[in-house]
Amino acid sequence: MPPLLSVYNLKTYFHTYRGLVKAVDGVSFDINEKEIVGVVGESGCGKSVSMLSVLQLISSPPGEIVDGKVIFEGQDLLQYQPKGETMSSIRGARIAMIFQEPMTSLNPVLTIGRQLTEGLEVHLSMNPQSARERVVELLRLVGIPDAKGRLDAYPHQFSGGMRQRVMIAMALSCNPRILIADEPTTAVDVTTQAQLLELMQDMVVRFKTSLVIVTHNLGVVARYAERIYVMYSGRIVESGLADDIFLNPLHPYTIGLLKCVPQLGETRKERKLVPIQGLPPNLINMPSSCAFLPRCDRARDICRQKPWPSLELIEGQHYVACFRDGPETP
Amino acid sequence: MTSYIIRRILMGVIIIFLVTVMVFLFIRLLPGDPLTIYLNKTDMQQLTEEQLFELRVKFGLEKTLPAQYIDWLGGLFTGDFGRSIYYDIDVGLLVRERLPVTLYLGALAFIISGVLGLSFGVICALRRGTWIDTLVTLLANIGITMPSFWVGIILIYLLAVKAGWLPVSGFTSPFTDFWKSTRQIIMPVTCLALFPIASLTRLTRSSMLEVIQQDYIRTAWSKGLRERLIISRHTIKNALIPVVTVIGLQVAFIFGGSVLIETVFNINGIGRLMTQAVQNQDYLIVQAGTLIIAIMVVLSNLTVDISYGWLDPRIRYD
Ligand SMILES: Nc1ncnc2c1ncn2[C@@H]1O[C@H](COP(=O)(O)OP(=O)(O)OP(=O)(O)O)[C@@H](O)[C@H]1O
Ligand SMILES: [Mg+2]
C-alpha cells in the first residue's frame, strides 16, 4: 500500500534582507495510514516550515516553496493555489494541524464554540445546531469539563493545557486522515505535556488518523512514535523505525541528541548528559559540505571535500546521510 | 459592567466640571471688558456710571467670580444658559439654533470618514504592495499633513471661484432646500472628513497587516476556511480594537475642526458662534460652547470604552 502522504525533495526558502534562507532544503518523508511519526531536530532546523509547506501555509513573501512534491491520496498538493478551493477543502478536513503556541493559536475575540463549529460548517455542511452538538461531544472526548457550558467561553478563560485540548478537538473535528502536531506540548508543564500526548495517542487510535509529532524532545517521540525522522539544518539526516534510531543511531547528530536525553532509571554516576558542542548553522550562505561538520566529533577528510551526502539505506527502513566509516577516499 | 459605566459617567462629569471652571477663568483673564464691546456696538457710549452699573447688574457682572460661576452653574440645571452680552438674547436660544448645523456637518463627516477610512484601510491591507495600496497610502499620508482650513481655501478657489461648480460659502437647512444645502456642504464636510479619513486609513491598514500575521489567522487558514471568511470573521474584529480609540478621538477632532471650517465657509454653526464670541468676549456663549464640546467628547470616549468590551472579550469591567 502506498503511503498516505509522500513528500519528495521539498525545498522552502525565505527571501530575507540578510539573504536567502534555505529553511527546508530537499526534505523527503512518508506518512503511512494510522502511523505515529516523530520529526525531531533542534530549534530552527526547519521542522515547522516543512509541515506548513505540506499545507501551503507558508506566508509568501517572504517564503516560497521552490521545489518538491507533496503527494497526498495520489495528487500533488503543490500544484494547487495556496488560497484556492482545493487546498481549503484539504486543510482541516483531510490534513489537520495543531500549533506550537496554545496561547496565540486561538482567536481571542471569538468564542471557543464559534471556532470549533466553523470547520464542521464549512467541510461537513453541518447546520449550526448539529455542529454545536458535535463540538460538545468532541470537547468531552478531549477531557474538557462542563463542555456544554464552555462553548461560549473565550480562549483567555482557558489554561494553556486546556487550550491545547481545544486545539486537538478542533483538529480532529472533521475526522482528518493526518494530524500534524507541531510541538504541541512545548508551552505546557511536564504533567500536562504527558496528558496531552496520551490524549493525542488515544484520539488518533480512535479516529484512525495518522499522527505526526514534531518536537525537539527525543523523550517525547521515544514513547509514542513508531518511525522517526531526524532533521538538521533544513534536511533529514537520519530516519528509521524508533528502534533503529534509539538502539542503533548512526548519524553523529542523532548520537549527540541521544546523549542529551536522560534515560529512565539512570543515576547521575552512570552517564553524563552531554550537550552537543557549538551552535546550529546559519541557514544563509551555507557551504555545500555537511552542515553538521563544524560540530561533528567524527569529521574526516572526506566530509570536508565532498558535498553533503544524501540519505543512504542501511538496512530495513533505516536511512542515514553521513559518510560514517566508509572508505576514506571514494 | 453597570458599575463600570456609572464610574465612567462620574469621571466624565468631573472632567466636564473642570473644563467649565477652566474656560470660565481663562476667558475672563483676557484683557478687555465685554461691556465696552457691547456698548461700542450699540452706540451708547455716553452712559453715566449708574447706567453702566445697571448694565453690569443686568448681566451679573458686578458679582465676584465664584458667585458668577455658581449663578451660571445653577442656571444650567434649570436649562438656562444665561444671557449673551453681545447679542443681548438668551444663549440657550442661540445654541438651539446653531448646534444642529454643526451636528449635521459633524455627523456627516464622522460617518463618511468612518466608512471610507475603514474601507480604504482594509482594501490597502488586502492588496498590500499593489498600485492601489501605494496610491491610497500616499494620498493618506498627504491628507494627514494638510491643514483642513487650508484645504478649504484651496477648494473654494478651485471648485467655487474658478470652476463655479459649488457655492463659495453659506449654509441652508436640508429641510428648506435639500439640493442647495447639499451643494453647500460638500466642501466643508470634505474638509472636516479629510484628516479623519487619512488617519483611519493608515491605522486600519497597519492594524489589519498586524492581525493577518497572527498565529490565530494561520490556525484559521489551517482549518480550511476561505479567505473571505477569514477576513470578515477572524481579522476585522481584531483589527478594529486599536482603530476604535481613534474613531472616538475623531469626534473631538471634527468638533474642533468645525470652529475653523465654519469660519472659512461662513456657516452659522456653533463653531463660528464661538469664534465670534471669543472676539466679542461674550463669556456665556464661549462657556456654553465649550460645555457642549466637552460633553460630546466625554460621551464619545465613553462609547469607545463600552465598545471595547464588545470587541475584545478579554477586557473586564471591574
Ligand atoms: N517568515 C520567515 N522569514 C524568514 N525566515 C524564516 C521565516 N520562518 C522561518 N524562517 C526560518 O526558517 C528556519 C526554520 O524555521 P522553523 O520554524 O521551521 O524551525 P523549527 O524547526 O520549527 O524550530 P522550533 O523548534 O523553534 O519551532 C529558521 O531558521 C527561521 O529563521
Ligand atoms: Mg517550529
Q: Best substitution site from A24, A49, A231 to test ligand 1's pocket, by max atoms within 8 Å of Cβ?
A: A49
All residues with CB under 5 Å from ion ligand 2: A 48
DSSP A26-55: EEEEEE-TT-EEEEE--TTSSHHHHHHHHT
* ipTM of predicted complex: 0.90
Tell me which chain A residue has its CA closest to the CA of residue B222.
Answer: A91
Say yes or no: B127 contacts chain A, CB-CB below 8 A: no
Q: What is the pLDDT of residues B151-201, one digit of tens each?
A: 999 999 999 888 888 888 888 888 888 899 889 999 999 999 999 999 999
Q: How far is CA B174 from CA A229, B105, B190, B191, in A?
A: 74, 11, 17, 19
**Helix then strand then coil, % of chain A, to nearest 5:** 30, 25, 45
Classify each residue of A228-254 as buried b or exposed e, where b means 16 or more C-beta atoms within 10 Å of its C-beta: bbbbbbbbbbbbbbbebbbeebbbbbb
Q: What is the pLDDT of residues A13-59, one digit of tens each?
A: 999 888 888 899 999 999 999 999 999 998 889 999 999 999 999 98
Q: Is A60 in the pocket of ligand 1 (CB under 6 A)?
A: no
Q: State the fold for domain B92-311.
A: MetI-like fold (1.10.3720)
Q: What strands, in cross-sheet order, belong to the sheet with A75-76? A: A19-31, A5-16, A63-72, A75-76
For ligand 1, is residue A135 a contact (CB within 6 Å)?
A: no
Where residue A125 falls (left for φ over 0; alpha for ψ -120 to 50; beta otherwise) is: left
For all residues of chain A together, what is the average pLDDT? Answer: 86
A101 in B contact zone (CB under 8 Å)? yes
Cα A46 to ligand 1 centre (Å): 6
pLDDT lower than 70: segments of chain B: 41-46, 317-318
Q: Chain A contact for B312, CB < 8 A?
A: yes
Q: Please report which confidence band the pLDDT of residue A329 belongs to, taking 50, 70 and 90 as the band edges.
A: very low
Chain B residues touching A104 at Cβ < 8 A: 214-216
Convert the pLDDT of each residue in A191-245 to its tens digit.
Answer: 888 888 888 888 888 889 999 999 888 887 888 899 999 999 889 999 999 988 8
Contact A108 B216 (CB under 8 A): yes
Q: Is B157 on the interface with A (CB under 8 A)?
A: no
Between A304 and A66, the more confident residue is A66
pLDDT tens by residue, A26-37: 999 999 999 999
What does the buried/exposed string (b/e) look like for B216-253 if buried means 16 or more CB atoms within 10 Å of the residue's CB? bbbbbbbbbbeeebbbebbbbbbbbbebbebbbbbbbb
Cα distance between residue A273 and residue A275, in whole Å: 7
A282 ligand 1 Cβ < 6 A: no
Cross-chain Cβ contact A106/B219 below 8 Å: yes
User: For atom 26 of ligand 1, which residue has the closest CA?
Assistant: A43
Contact between chains at B221 and A57 (C-beta distance less than 8 A): yes
B221 in contact with chain A, both atoms CB, cutoff 8 A: yes
- Give the pLDDT score at A330: 41
Cell triple for A289: 559540505
CB B86 within 8 A of CB B59: no
CB contact under 8 A, B223 and A110: no
Tell me, using a 6 A CB cutoff, whether residue A185 lines ligand 1.
Answer: no
What's the pLDDT tens digit per position in B108-139? 999 999 999 999 999 999 998 899 999 999 99
Report which bound ligand comes closest to the CA of A99. Answer: 2
A59 interfacial to chain B (CB closer than 8 Å): yes
- For residue A52, the ligand 1 atom closest to its alpha carbon is 18
Domain limits, chain B: 2-76, 92-311
**Residue A173 to chain B, least CA–CA distance (Å):** 10
Asked if pLDDT for residue A81 goes beyond 60, the answer is yes
Superfamily of domain A1-82+211-330: P-loop containing nucleotide triphosphate hydrolases (3.40.50.300)
Whether A315 has a pLDDT exceeding 60, the answer reads yes
**Interface residue B96 vs chain A (CB under 8 A):** no
Distance CA B207, CA A5 (A): 38
Q: What is the pLDDT of residue A203?
A: 85
- Chain B closest-CA separation from residue A294 CA (Å): 34
Considering only CB atoms, B219 lies closest to which of A83, A85, A105, namely A105
Higher pLDDT, A79 or A300: A79
* Cα distance between residue A223 and residue A67, in whole Å: 33
pTM for the model stands at 0.83
Provide the pLDDT for residue B105. Answer: 94
- How far, in Å, CA of A307 to CA of A288, rounded? 5
Q: Which residues of B touch A58 (CB under 8 A)?
A: none
What residues 195-214 of chain B have any CB closer than 8 A to a CB of chain A? Answer: 213-214
